[in-house]
Amino acid sequence: MRPATCSADRGLVAAVDVHYPKSGGARAAAVRAASASFSPVLSERVVTVGEVLPYRPGAFYLRELPPLRAVLAGQDDLRLVVVDGYADLDGSGRPGLGARLHAELGIPVIGVAKSAYRTATHAIPVVRGTSSRPLFVTATGLPRDDAAELVLRMAGGHRVPDAMRRADALARRPD
């Protein structure tokens, strides 16, 4: 892969995740850093949303977007967001969570999925650390190749980058 030259590699960036506790609602977490390597982390934020829509196949974004809006509220200085999931769902650009978030924020969004989605044959597999299992990278607002390179360079020696692991842990942490 060629070196990523995207302007999103500089400026404030966030990795985000959402968890749905059995008690209801949602907890969203954001981990912010000054560069797309996410090293060092500058801040963390967790927001609880009391009510969320039920899961609907094909409309996952309707459930995820409100908690993501809440955790990213007031963070107008972001240049890039990394989400756990897909930016787009197929090669023709059918919007996924990342594309919906990009439409709202107007900044590049990288989707990093841990499992393959049958129609996302355009996703770039990225193998990190000592894992043999790839992550599946999609993007909107920047070229997929640049997004894959940024994910490859994110801090951490594990399959899932440290910032994404931290956002997941924060979102899952009990109150």
Q: What is the pLDDT of residue 93?
A: 86
Q: What is the pLDDT of residue 35?
A: 94
The answer to whether residues 13 and 36 touch, using CB atoms and an 8 Å cutoff, is yes
Q: Is the pLDDT reported for residue 175 higher than 80?
A: no
User: Beta partners for 7?
Assistant: none
Residues 81-118: pLDDT tens digits?
A: 999 999 999 988 899 999 999 999 999 999 999 999 99
Q: Is the pLDDT reported for residue 1 higher than 50?
A: no
The model carries a pTM of 0.91
- DSSP letter string, the chain: -PPP--GGGEEEEEEEEEE--TTSSEEEEEEEEEETT--SEEEEEEEEES--PPP-TT-HHHHHHHHHHHHHTT-TTEEEEEEES-SBSSTT--B-HHHHHHHHH-S-EEEEESS--TT-TTPEEE--TT-SSPEEEEEESS-HHHHHHHHHHSS-SSSS-HHHHHHHHHHHS--
Measure the CA–CA gap between 57 and 105, rounded to whole angstroms: 24
Q: What is the pLDDT of residue 76?
A: 87
Q: Which domains does the chain have, with CATH numbers?
A: 7-172 (3.30.2170.10)
Q: What is the pLDDT of residue 127?
A: 98
Residues 35-91: pLDDT tens digits?
A: 999 999 999 999 999 999 988 877 788 899 999 999 999 998 999 999 999 999 998
